[in-house]
């Protein structure tokens, strides 16, 4: 019997799209999302806060002189997308988007057309195979690996149950000095019950889900200069206005983020 895995199995990209109020999700995704919301009622706030971190960290990188971006785990397009933020500051910024979901691929093709003067490319790839991603980037001369690159992995690594240390080592080895790494990922440090229950909803559906501790996230930045304020919940990373968020907000968001620079 033919089974359309796109509509019969949930996918992390479409569940996230649902949390952000998007329309690119199916019944099976909404069912999983409802269970996740039961476990973690504030996950929509977490998704929006994560997305805003992507906006601010991309702006920071562009203002720091980065002109090339490699965004792994791009997600279903949600405006503003990373290239729109980078190109607003430097129109010639080049962006390579990477994701492993077919639906993101379908949307990304549409997104690429009509882009600004800087080249925007999409490749289907898996973060657990960084060599293939780097080879594709190099083979097609999408980015110049001898020049600084902003490597963005936002709301991606909690869907990776491989060794992130190894993945980081491979990427960071290949990147030129002056490159940056920006990460945001889920932690159970602030509200273990809600996060572990939500993690289970993914796992029973055979979707990898892995929460990380403060020390694990800090370890991914070994050898990099951590940009102030270091590893913090995303609403505390260089907020646009003075942050008056109470400590209880950290539990609602339950993520750590950070930006580091390769010396
Ligand atoms: C929650 S979305 C994050 C989207 C965007 N980065 C953001 O922060 O708004 C996670 C994305 O990572 C993708 N993804 C999950 N596992 C992946 C993997 N092993 N390799 C590449 N992409 C993956 C999913 O398809 C999804 O589009």
169 C-alpha to ligand 1 centroid (Å):
20
- State the CATH class of domain 5-261: alpha beta
- State the pLDDT at residue 113: 58
Q: Which of 184-193, 225-234, 238-247, 249-258 has the lowest mean pLDDT?
A: 238-247
The percent of residues in the chain predicted with pLDDT above 90, rounded, is 81
Evaluate: CB of 29 within 6 angstroms of ligand 1: no
pLDDT of residue 242: 73
Indicate whether residue 54 lines ligand 1 (CB < 6 A). Answer: yes
Residue 75 beta carbon below 6 angstroms from any ligand 1 atom: yes
Looking at ligand 1, which residue's alpha carbon is closest to its atom 11?
73
Least confident of 66-70, 187-191, 194-198, 239-243: 239-243
pLDDT at 135 over 70: yes
The pairing of beta strand 180-186 with beta strand 150-154: parallel
Alpha-carbon gap, residue 261 to 178, rounded angstroms = 6
> β-strand 180-186 against 255-261: which pairing, if any?
antiparallel
* pLDDT digits 0-9 by tens, 183-193: 999 999 999 99
Task: Give the number of the atom of ligand 1 that is nearest the alpha carbon of residue 71.
Answer: 6
Q: Where are the domains of the chain?
A: 5-261
pLDDT band of 182, cuts 50, 70, 90: very high
pLDDT for position 1: 39
Whether the CB of 82 sits within 6 Å of ligand 1: no
Ligand 1 center to residue 225 CA distance, Å?
A: 25
Calculate how far, in angstroms, residue 72's C-alpha sits from the geometric centre of ligand 1: 7
- Residue 115, pLDDT score: 58
For residues 254 and 36, what is the distance between their CA atoms, to the nearest angstrom?
A: 14
Widest CA span of the chain, in angstroms?
57
pTM of this prediction exceeds 0.85: yes
């Amino acid at each position: 019997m033919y089974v359309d895995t796109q509509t019969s199995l949930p996918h992390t990209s479409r569940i996230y799209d649902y949390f952000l109020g998007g329309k690119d999700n199916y019944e099976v995704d909404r069912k999983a999302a409802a269970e996740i919301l039961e476990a973690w009622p504030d996950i929509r706030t977490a998704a929006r806060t994560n997305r805003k971190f992507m906006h601010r960290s991309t702006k920071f990188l562009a203002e720091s002189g980065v002109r090339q971006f490699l965004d792994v785990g791009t997600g279903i397009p949600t405006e503003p997308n990373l290239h729109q933020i980078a190109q607003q500051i430097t129109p010639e910024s080049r962006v390579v988007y990477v994701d492993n979901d077919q639906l993101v691929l379908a949307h990304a093709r549409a997104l690429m057309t009509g882009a600004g003067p800087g080249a925007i490319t999409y490749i289907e790839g898996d973060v657990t195979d960084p060599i293939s991603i780097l080879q594709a980037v190099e083979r097609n001369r999408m980015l110049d690996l001898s020049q600084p690159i902003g490597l963005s992995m936002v709301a991606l690594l909690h869907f990776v149950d491989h060794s992130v240390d190894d993945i980081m080592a491979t990427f960071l080895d290949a990147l030129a000095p002056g490159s940056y790494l920006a990460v945001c990922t889920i932690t159970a440090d602030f509200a273990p019950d809600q996060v572990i229950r939500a993690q289970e909803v993914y796992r029973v559906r055979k979707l990898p889900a892995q929460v990380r501790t403060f020390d694990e996230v800090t370890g991914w930045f070994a050898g990099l200069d951590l940009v102030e304020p270091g590893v913090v919940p995303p609403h505390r990373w260089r907020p646009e206005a003075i942050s008056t968020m109470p400590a209880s907000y950290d539990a609602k968001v339950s993520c750590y983020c950070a930006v580091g620079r390769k010396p």
